[in-house]
Chains A and B, each alone.
Chain A
Amino acid sequence: MLRSLLDPAEARLTVMVDGRPFDAHPGETVAACLMRHDLVPTRQTPTGRPRAPYCLMGACFECTVELDGRTNVQACLTPVRDGMVICRNLRA
């Protein structure tokens, strides 16, 4: 649902999302990276409804994912890092 204004050649980082590799730009947040690759929803509610990043400033807690083994991390407050392992909160 998003596209980057940066040169695609600059997307030199790689993150793993649910076991698959995706390119990432240095400085972009995990939430922006997920939305740019259309990896939404990023979580499901207890009743199974789909949710995705909403406020992008840390106030709504809709974008929480598992990051490098830490649970419930706000993706909008966290910049990507090369090799980062991201798991969306989705039930299979």
Chain B
Amino acid sequence: MPEFASVDPATDVAIIGAGPAGMAAAIEARRHGLAVTVLDDQPTIGGQILRGITGARRVHYEIWGAPLASAFQQSGARHVRGASVWARDGETLVYGVEGQTCRLQAKAVILATGSMERPVVLPGHTLPGVVTVGALQSLLKGSAAVPSGRYVLAGSGPLLVLTALQLTKAGAPPLAIIDTTPRGRWRASLTKAPGLIGEPALAISGMKLLARIRMAKIPIFRHATDLRVLGTDRAEGLAFRAEGREHRLEAGMVALHDGVVPNDQLAVSFGCASRWNADAQAYAMVTTAEVRASVGGIWIAGDAAAISGGYLATLTGRLAALDVARELAMLTAEAHAEAAAPVLAERSRRLAARRFVDALYAPTLSAAKADGSALLCRCEEVPVSRVRAAIAQGATGTRQVKAATRCGMGPCQGRQCTLSLVSVLAEELGAAVTDFSRPSLRTPGRPITVAELAASHSGQGHTGSDA
């Protein structure tokens, strides 16, 4: 006997994600009289960067965080926590909360699904005890938990140093930071971003963080290569090359990081177009300046479209809400233009520094250069060597590699391997990533039970957006 979906009251705008972009969009949309429902899969508001902002503060958040969260809570937007959206059927979104299937009709959808850490591929990275650096931050901010034993942070990106300092302040300093940023990147990156001269604050905050690491006496191994997690059934340490020799550090936890990329699975499964962003070495969703997606009725705000950080996400969140308000006739074209102009101007001014950050933190732990034994697809346990073999045997695109290896066909539906797969294809075939089609994604994009699927129908034909 199938259960039926619970049907929510219709809303003007459904916002998916309660991070900076989603909260800012909700506040702006409410300001213009729109009915707003925010669906978020996390237990509390804030997304990743502001996780825990409404609870007991154990970390120092950027100054815009607390006022944003408090304005969101007072905005009158309806907020559904633990809501995992998995389909769009016309104007109806289908989502699950604790196994219950729900349907929500919305005239407009703003996707604010944020970012995720770029998948890294190195031997041993699937062992228990290996986590991402962002995971350590989540545990600290959300669950007030820190590593209980020796641990190291390895990879590249500003999150390494930031997390090291936050955990040191919490009484759990790392054994070491293993920085994989190659020699010479700083200089090369500066030449790419003359705009940085207009953003001294960014450079100064970076230098301040490094000075604090030195004061905390946390050893940093620079320009490290050949990383390998030690252990057979769980992580026992990290081996790597730095300063011309082999190192082995014993540690029960190893946290890896190689920058962040858009968390765009839902947008792609809704049929929205993306393109390869060579600067960021990742896909970016195709949007207008008003952050309208290629599919009607959908807007994409914040890092879900292209990485630009938490504060800029609040600007694109506002732009999305303003455009929705115009579309739903709550704002005249003139009033819209007047409200959007300063937001657009601030956005383009602040984007100037982005190319520097992208160039400085280009991927360093990519599958393209990884040891063949490392798993490229975690879910289906496909090593890099098997993907290389499939290519050697004639696979020339993502679809053929998937068919030959099952790469990308497990529960995560390619979240953890799509970028690795296209980078290996490009490397092996001496081609550009733009030569390959992005692997397709079908609804639901995550494992659901037959009961959930049955409930989603409610007697109305198919639930998929791409049937």
Chains A and B bind each other? yes
Residue A92 lies at the interface, judged by CB distance under 8 Å to chain B:
no
Give residues 86-128 of B contacting A (CB, 8 Å): 98-99, 116-117, 126-128
Bits for B223-234, please: 1 = Cβ < 8 Å to A, else 0: 000000000011
* A8–B120 alpha-carbon span in the complex (Å): 35
Task: Enumerate A47-92 residues with CB–CB distance to B below 8 Å.
Answer: 47, 49-62, 64, 70-72, 76-79
Give the contact stretch, choosing among B133-141, B309-317, B325-333.
B133-141
- Provide the A25-41 mask, 1 if CB < 8 A to any CB of B, else 0: 10111001101100011
Pair A56/B116 contact, Cβ less than 8 Å: no
B132: interface (CB < 8 Å): yes
Give complex CA distance A4, B149 in Å. 12
| CB-based contact B381/A77 at 8 Å | no
**Chain A residue contacts of B412, Cβ below 8 A:** 59-61
Is B128 touching A51 in the complex (CB atoms < 8 A)?
yes
* Complex CA–CA separation, A26 to B378 (angstroms): 31
Partner of B411, one of A61, A76, A79: A61
Contact assessment for A32 and B446 in the assembled complex, using a CB-CB cutoff below 8 Å? no
- The chain B residue sitting closest to A52, CB to CB, is B128
Rounded to whole angstroms, the CA-CA distance of A54 and B148 in the bound complex is 16
Q: Within the complex, what minimum Cβ distance (angstroms) separates B169 from chain A?
A: 11
- Check: B287 CB closer than 8 A to any chain A CB: no
Contact between A5 and B130, CB atoms less than 8 A apart: no
Q: Does B43 contact A (CB under 8 A)?
A: yes
A14 to B451, CA, bound (A): 29
> What residues of chain B lie closer than 8 Å to A9, measured between beta carbons?
none
Interface bits B398-426 vs A (CB < 8 Å: 1, else 0): 00000000000011100110000000000
Tell me whether B288 is interfacial, beta carbon within 8 Å. no
Given contacts A1-B253, A50-B233, A77-B41, whether A57 and B134 have CB atoms under 8 Å apart is: yes
A interface residues, tally (CB under 8 Å):
42
| Complex alpha-carbon distance, A28 and B379, angstroms | 26
- Contact B99 A70, beta carbon cutoff 8 Å: yes
Q: Is B58 engaged at the interface, CB distance under 8 Å to the other chain?
A: yes
Which of B128-158 touch A at CB < 8 Å?
128-132, 134-135, 138-139, 142-149
Nearest CB of chain B from residue A25's CB, rounded to whole Å: 7
Assembled-state Cα–Cα distance A58/B234 (Å):
21
Determine which of B82, B116, B139, B149 lies in contact with A77 in the assembled complex, contact meaning CB atoms within 8 Å. B82
What is the 8 Å Cβ interface bit string for chain B, positions 270-289, against chain A (1 contact, 0 not)?
Answer: 00000000000000000000
Give the distance in Å from the alpha carbon of A53 to the alpha carbon of B127 in the complex.
10
Chain B positions 354-409 with a Cβ under 8 Å from a chain A Cβ? 378-379, 381
Partner of B449, one of A35, A50, A52, A71: A71
User: B55 contacts which chain A residues (CB < 8 A)?
Assistant: 27
**Least CB separation from B233: chain A residue:** A50
Cβ of B269 under 8 Å from chain A: no
Please, which residues of chain B bring their CB within 8 A of the CB of A62? 126, 378
Known contacts: A1-B129, A5-B170, A50-B127. The answer to whether A58 contacts B144 by CB under 8 A is: no
* Contacting residue for A25 out of B144, B170, B263, CB 8 A: B144
A46 touches B138 (CB 8 A): no
Tell me, in angstroms, the Cα distance from A40 to B99 when the chains sit together: 25
CB of B20 within 8 Å of the partner chain: no
Contact: A3 with B148, CB < 8 Å? yes
Is the CB–CB distance between A53 and B135 below 8 Å? yes
- Whole-angstrom distance between the Cβ of A33 and the nearest chain B Cβ: 8
Bound CA–CA A38/B101 (angstroms): 33
Does A29 lie within 8 Å of B143, measured CB to CB? yes
- Asked whether, in the complex, the Cβ of A53 is within 8 Å of the Cβ of B234, the reply is no
A5 CA to B147 CA, complexed, in Å:
10
Q: Is B456 on the interface with A (CB-CB < 8 A)?
A: no
Residues of A within 8 A of B131 (CB): 53-56
Are A5 and B99 in contact, CB atoms less than 8 angstroms apart? no
User: Which residue on A lies nearest to B413, using beta carbons?
Assistant: A61
Residue of B nearest to A38 (CB): B148
State how many angstroms separate the Cβ of B45 from the closest Cβ of chain A: 13
Kindly state the separation between the CA atoms of A82 and B112 in the bound complex, as whole angstroms: 32
Residue B189, interface by CB 8 Å: no
CA distance A49 to B55 in the complex (A): 37
CB contacts (< 8 Å) of A27 on chain B: these are 55, 142-144
Q: Does A78 contact B146, Cβ atoms closer than 8 Å?
A: no
Q: Beyond A3-B147, A59-B412: 16 further Cβ-contacts under 8 Å?
A: A3-B146, A27-B55, A32-B143, A33-B143, A42-B128, A55-B132, A55-B135, A56-B138, A57-B42, A57-B135, A59-B415, A70-B99, A71-B449, A72-B411, A72-B447, A76-B138
Mark B residues whose CB is within 8 Å of A: 41-43, 48, 55, 58, 82, 84, 98-99, 116-117, 126-132, 134-135, 138-139, 142-149, 170-172, 233-234, 252-253, 263, 378-379, 381, 410-412, 415-416, 446-447, 449
A-B CB contact pairs (8 Å), 24 listed: A25-B144, A27-B55, A29-B43, A32-B142, A45-B381, A49-B126, A50-B127, A50-B128, A50-B233, A54-B130, A54-B135, A54-B378, A55-B117, A55-B131, A56-B135, A57-B48, A57-B134, A57-B138, A59-B116, A59-B263, A60-B378, A62-B378, A77-B82, A78-B82
